[in-house]
């Protein structure tokens, strides 16, 4: 009798447990939501939410509780947010990171705590190489790679006397290293600015004095918008054409820059005009919902939600960390970019295109994709990563 009763209790307990809806999936979203670059965090958040909506409003079949944190582009603020999300909120994932210095400040504590860290944008070389980690995935790009693509293009076209500029912080250094990995022509100067700098008068005077044939620069967010406007105001655009990785002159920046962006050339892994049914739907849905054109920040965040969803469905959750990690490594999902897969260091292997900033006959300033530069492009740090199996 005793045994029967306890069996019954177990059975009833199971039925009660089955009737309980699964607990919400808690995701910490640390991004830059204030200051001159707040639009980058907003585009990332909007893209992520739309990605979630595209798979039914849940991830892996669970409702999602996003725990939002504004890092203010400050590594120490991000570290406090990450500690709180790990210890108090008990999140299963952290995502949203835009900046490599911010990501590098939170990576170790988050990963040491056994939380999955999925960066939709920042892709520093450190985490692609010696510091690669089973629970870290970059879903946007490795920092060097869009610049490698432009290096390949400008090398092929025989450009020389190119002036290089980027902020002096981990991503800025990766970006220019990536460009120089494939561009072997003459570099007129390699100038490092301060991250967050808004006035470029001194740099523009220096640049003019060097008489370069072209400029290759990475400056994103509010500072990038200012830089391109000041460049045009200084009358440099005609004589010294601009080349950049996508984020220096993208859809978050073009509305603020306007005509001064026209004529620039960018390298990118995604563009609003990439021709696939999924991408057309993504762009149309984003424009309808948020009343602006999505940028690569939004596109990669859209993919990030879809990657997490597909991996959760394949593994059944994150409880078995090794199983979830394997599901991420082998994830099958439709990307707005087209080809996408993870390299052994958990960074994307993807295609890069060349796009020109043009003004169409309706007077809109937008990207026009011109050609594929490199297909299935992997970063150059894979061999330095000995990923624990
Ligand atoms: C970075 O810090 O890794 C970073 C920031 C903004 C970008 C691209 C990369 O647009």
| CATH code, domain carrying 139 | 3.40.50.2300
Q: Are residues 259 and 360 in the same domain?
A: yes
CA of 32 to the centre of ligand 1 (A): 11
| pLDDT the model gives residue 72 | 98
Number of domains in the chain: 2
Range of the domain at 127: 25-143+275-351
| pLDDT the model gives residue 377 | 98
Kindly report, residue by residue over 269-291, the tens digit of the pLDDT: 999 999 999 999 999 999 999 99
Q: Which of 122, 177, 227, 299 to mutate to test the pocket of ligand 1 (most atoms within 8 A of CB)?
A: 122
Tell me whether residue 4 is in a domain.
no
Which residues are bridge partners to 116 per DSSP? 93
Q: Are residues 313 and 366 in the same domain?
A: no
Tell me whether residue 359 is in a domain.
yes
Q: Using pLDDT thresholds of 50, 70 and 90, give the confidence band for residue 20.
A: low
Q: How far is CA 205 from CA 26, 64, 227, 236, 248, in A?
A: 49, 50, 13, 10, 20
Q: Are residues 64 and 124 in the same domain?
A: yes
Closest listed residue to residue 128, CA positions, set 305, 387, 388: 387
Query: How high does pLDDT run on average in the chain?
Result: 95
Q: Are residues 263 and 286 in the same domain?
A: no
Torsion 344-352-127-89 (CA) sign: negative
Q: Is residue 196's pLDDT more than 60?
A: yes
Say how many C-beta atoms besides its own lie within 10 A of residue 338's C-beta. 18
Rounded Cα–Cα distance for residues 385 and 311 (Å): 22
Kindly report, residue by residue over 289-325, the tens digit of the pLDDT: 999 999 999 999 999 999 999 999 999 999 999 999 9
Q: Is residue 10's pLDDT more than 70?
A: no
- DSSP 8-state class, residue 62: B
Kindly report, residue by residue over 107-156, the tens digit of the pLDDT: 999 999 999 999 999 999 999 999 999 999 999 999 999 999 999 999 99
Say how many C-beta atoms besides its own lie within 10 A of residue 263's C-beta. 15
Q: Are residues 232 and 364 in the same domain?
A: yes
Q: How far is CA 187 from CA 91, 159, 163, 214, in A?
A: 46, 10, 6, 10
Torsion 302-122-147-163 (CA) sign: positive
Tell me whether residue 324 is in a domain.
yes
Which residues are bridge partners to 356 per DSSP? 265, 368
Are 162 and 186 a contacting pair, CB within 8 Å? yes
Q: Are residues 125 and 236 in the same domain?
A: no
Q: Which atom of ligand 1 is nearest to the CA of 170?
A: 2
Q: Are residues 74 and 151 in the same domain?
A: no
* Rounded average pLDDT over 181-199: 98
Tell me whether residue 206 is in a domain.
yes
| pLDDT the model gives residue 18 | 55
* Rounded average pLDDT over 167-195: 98
Tell me whether residue 18 is in a domain.
no
Kindly report, residue by residue over 70-117, the tens digit of the pLDDT: 999 999 999 999 999 999 999 999 999 999 999 999 999 999 999 999
Q: Are residues 204 and 341 in the same domain?
A: no
Residue with tokens 């991408």: 279
Q: Which of 42, 74, 121 to mutate to test the pocket of ligand 1 (most atoms within 8 A of CB)?
A: 121
CA of 272 to the centre of ligand 1 (A): 19
Residue of 16 and 94 predicted with greater confidence: 94
Q: Is residue 9's pLDDT more than 90?
A: no
Closest listed residue to residue 214, CA positions, set 181, 247, 179, 252: 179
Q: For residue 112, give the H/E element and its range.
A: helix 100-112
Residue with tokens 């600015």: 193
Tell me whether residue 153 is in a domain.
yes
Q: How many residues does the chain have?
A: 389
Q: Using pLDDT thresholds of 50, 70 and 90, give the confidence band for residue 3.
A: very low
Are 222 and 244 a contacting pair, CB within 8 Å? no
* Rounded average pLDDT over 354-373: 98
Atom 4 in ligand 1: residue holding the nearest Cα: 99
Q: Using pLDDT thresholds of 50, 70 and 90, give the confidence band for residue 22.
A: confident
Is 143 near ligand 1, meaning CB less than 6 Å away? yes
Q: Are residues 372 and 332 in the same domain?
A: no
Torsion-angle region of 386 (φ positive above 0: left; ψ -120 to 50: alpha; else: beta): beta
Q: Are residues 328 and 195 in the same domain?
A: no
Tell me whether residue 241 is in a domain.
yes
Rounded Cα–Cα distance for residues 374 and 96 (Å): 27
Atom 9 in ligand 1: residue holding the nearest Cα: 122
Atom 2 in ligand 1: residue holding the nearest Cα: 99
Q: Are residues 125 and 180 in the same domain?
A: no
Tell me whether residue 132 is in a domain.
yes
| pLDDT the model gives residue 12 | 44
Residues above pLDDT 90, as percent of the chain: 93
Residues above pLDDT 70, as percent of the chain: 95
Is 119 near ligand 1, meaning CB less than 6 Å away? no
Q: Are residues 137 and 286 in the same domain?
A: yes
């Amino acid at each position: 009798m005793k045994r029967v009763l306890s069996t019954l209790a177990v059975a009833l307990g199971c039925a009660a447990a089955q009737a309980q809806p699964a607990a919400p999936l808690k995701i910490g979203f640390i991004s830059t939501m204030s200051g001159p670059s707040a639009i980058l965090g907003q585009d990332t958040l909007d893209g992520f939410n739309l990605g979630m909506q595209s798979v039914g409003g849940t991830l892996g079949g669970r409702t999602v509780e996003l725990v939002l944190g504004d890092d203010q582009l400050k590594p120490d603020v991000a570290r406090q947010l990450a500690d709180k999300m790990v210890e108090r909120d008990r999140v299963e994932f952290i995502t949203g990171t835009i900046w490599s210095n911010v990501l590098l400040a939170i990576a170790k504590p988050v990963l040491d705590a056994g939380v999955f860290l999925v960066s939709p944008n920042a892709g520093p070389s450190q985490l692609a190489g010696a510091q690669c980690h089973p629970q870290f995935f970059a879903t946007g790009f490795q920092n060097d790679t869009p610049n490698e693509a432009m290096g390949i293009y400008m090398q092929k076209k025989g450009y020389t006397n190119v002036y290089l500029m980027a902020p002096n912080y981990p991503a800025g250094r990766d970006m220019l290293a990536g460009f120089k990995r494939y561009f072997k022509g003459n570099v007129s100067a390699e100038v490092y600015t301060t991250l967050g700098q808004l006035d470029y008068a001194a740099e523009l005077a220096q640049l003019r004095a060097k008489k370069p044939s072209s400029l290759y620069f990475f400056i994103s967010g509010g500072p990038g918008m200012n830089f391109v406007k000041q460049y045009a105001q200084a009358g440099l655009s005609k004589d010294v054409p601009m080349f950049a990785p996508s984020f220096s002159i993208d859809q978050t920046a073009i509305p603020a820059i306007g005509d001064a962006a026209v004529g620039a050339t960018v390298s990118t892994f995604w563009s609003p005009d990439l021709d696939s049914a999924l991408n057309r739907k993504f762009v149309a849905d984003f424009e309808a919902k948020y009343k602006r054109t999505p940028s690569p920040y939004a596109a990669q965040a859209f993919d990030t939600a879809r990657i997490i969803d597909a991996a959760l469905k394949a593994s059944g959750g994150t409880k078995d960390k090794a199983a979830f990690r394997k599901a991420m490594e082998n994830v099958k999902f439709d990307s707005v970019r087209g080809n996408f897969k993870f390299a052994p260091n958990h960074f994307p292997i993807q295609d890069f295109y060349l796009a020109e900033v043009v003004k169409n006959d309706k007077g809109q300033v937008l990207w026009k994709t011109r050609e594929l530069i490199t297909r299935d492009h992997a970063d150059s740090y894979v061999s330095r990563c000995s990923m624990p199996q």
